Structure 1
């Protein structure tokens, strides 16, 4: 089995900001043991493709489309992804892409109703035509990572924890502040270590939605939230949502947010008034604090089950767009004084999910576990992902 692999990870998340593309190298190091990662990684090159309003609107409303319209959207979106991957390849002149092992695409989630949740049928759908992407890029593609786990009775999410365990073992917690805030950590019980992870609460999905009402794509640095104050009644309603008292494994999707969060936000009809704008800023501040509070509570609840540490404070690696929200990070540090909040470097913050999906593709090629039952609630671990073969890539800048 090969020791080194090159993979392009592609991520399109619930925050709908754009497409993350990351060319990564992974090297297996079986000599490392215990808390030191068994794999080394390198992010060689990256590119962020911001979604234009056209794509944001299309993807945000895709769940309302007919079957025919949804398939048309998938074809258009796959063509968009392939075009940007090919441009990315042509711009990365220092790397020989004949050495590329795979493109690993998360796709874009349209529906997520796993079997574990009451009243749900047990399915998940990420658009992205793997065969088409392979044909248009000339490289084998790994995609549809969630399907096998859902078929095994799991949540199909989160998938990142296997990467946290094998690439970032030096941290006690890995916290991702994306559209949804999720956390990953190892528990120690009866001399056995198990990886646990779950979605904590909505994060940028709701914060971006509220920022859009004020004409902004997102709340840069938390500046809009800073101008608001906590709405205590709203905060109380948010913190009493039943999801937060449920035990893991558990995951969140757009459907849950639309059914449970949005109805609590009574948006003003006339957004032009100063009073209306202030109300939305208050909502922003409240939801930002709410996210920090729920994250802090999750860390407190899980600390007792962690393996004993020689460090005075346990380390929390924070990545995702929310890492740049100063208000969110301030509250998180204030509410979690017992841990050390450490933000990754700018590349890792932006591309950690793309990095790990690139890694999931490598594990799939090696026929090794890339989805953990302790995380998703499935009946067993699995090796998820569909592989589409293609001829070696041949590119020309002419």
Structure 2
């Protein structure tokens, strides 16, 4: 039985930093098992944060330059992590940081050059997990559902609350998944207006009340009416959501409270639309799972038909990094790691590019 020793790297749209998870992953009796051995989160310095936040406006030359320098930075952070814990590593699997996501144009881009990570660490790297699916006519997203199927199949629904909310579930042995819509991206945008990285435990949101006009505008965004497969990125947020926030003259507390209710309203609609059984369980991970006001609001909206499961903090915070580690293993073994039922591609694929260190 081969145990793959692999580090998963993840930087999400909420821009709260880089997650590193050193995992042991192995196959047993036709199923996949994991053990998260070590983890680390690296906050972005203000300069890096601002650069990543504004990548949408970079020139092509500056974007490629960032692709390379950010790749080196990822490699350096990974090397520090390895040295801190004296880790024995077979591979590194890196998602990179999404700067552009326009699947309707056949376009997605994640900065963080795999070759630069490999050269900085001296370890083989699997990166660029999305491009192949785009080339096959898919959305290139979401990717995490392969891990939901192989690692977390005991739950009826898997919900990730990162910068955006996405959901994953099985229908007649077919995995369905898509971006529901907003999550931490809108909450963090609002808190940064008062120089807060995020609203801890949702305490500011809890103190507010609903702004009905803003709530209705958010609920009526066209994206929510589109059929899946579908996914959204920062461009959509800037174009469609930011104007609603900026046109709403209200307190930070009310803006946050309204946003939390909107997020939970849209999640609840999707759970009810895809009702599985009266004892169904919803696993929630991602930074939003740590927002107690958001979780309480969601539980109230869902009622008794759905049990909300918030797992151990290590799973909440590092599930995505873990699953990119799994995707790296599947790529090495030439097994399917991207599901066409999720992305809308012509077929399932084995995605990711292998980079050898020099």
TM-score greater than 0.5 by the shorter chain: yes
Deviations 1:76-114 (A, max 9, x none): 212211111011001113x4x1xx221000001110000
Structure 2 equivalent of residue 130 of structure 1: 114
- Counterpart Cα distance in 1 of 2:230 and 2:65: 31
Deviations 1:62-84 (A, max 9, x none): 11111221122222212211111
1:248 corresponds to 2:252: no
- Counterpart Cα distance in 2 of 1:47 and 1:267: 38
What are the within-5 Å matches in structure 2 for residues 78-157 of structure 1? 78-93=71-86, 95=87, 97=88, 100-115=89-104, 121-157=105-141
**Secondary structure at the residue paired with 1:72?**
helix
The number of equivalent residue pairs is 357
**Secondary structure at the residue paired with 1:132?**
helix
User: Structure 1 segments of 4 or more deviating over 3 A?
Assistant: none
What are the within-5 Å matches in structure 2 for residues 298-313 of structure 1? 298-303=270-275, 306=276, 312-313=278-279
The Cα RMSD (Å) is 1.4
Q: Give the deviation of 1:127 after TM superposition.
A: 0.7
Deviations 1:123-142 (A, max 9, x none): 10001111111111011000
Contact 1:267-1:280 within 8 A present in 2 as well: no
- Counterpart Cα distance in 2 of 1:225 and 1:125: 33
What are the within-5 Å matches in structure 2 for residues 264-283 of structure 1? 264-266=244-246, 279-283=251-255
Q: Give the deviation of 1:185 after TM superposition.
A: 0.5
Structure 2 equivalent of residue 197 of structure 1: 177
Match of residue 294, structure 2, among 328, 340, 361: 328
| Structure with the largest fraction of helix | 2
1:225 corresponds to 2:199: no
1:390 corresponds to 2:357: yes
Q: Give the deviation of 1:171 after TM superposition.
A: 0.8
Query: Which structure has the bigger radius of gyration?
Result: 1
Q: Give the deviation of 1:267 after TM superposition.
A: 5.5
- Stretches of structure 1 that go unaligned for 5 or more consecutive residues are 32-37, 116-120, 269-275, 392-398
**Secondary structure at the residue paired with 1:336?**
helix
- Counterpart Cα distance in 1 of 2:242 and 2:119: 40
Q: Give the deviation of 1:155 after TM superposition.
A: 0.5
**Secondary structure at the residue paired with 2:251?**
helix
- Counterpart Cα distance in 1 of 2:346 and 2:292: 40
- Counterpart Cα distance in 1 of 2:215 and 2:247: 16
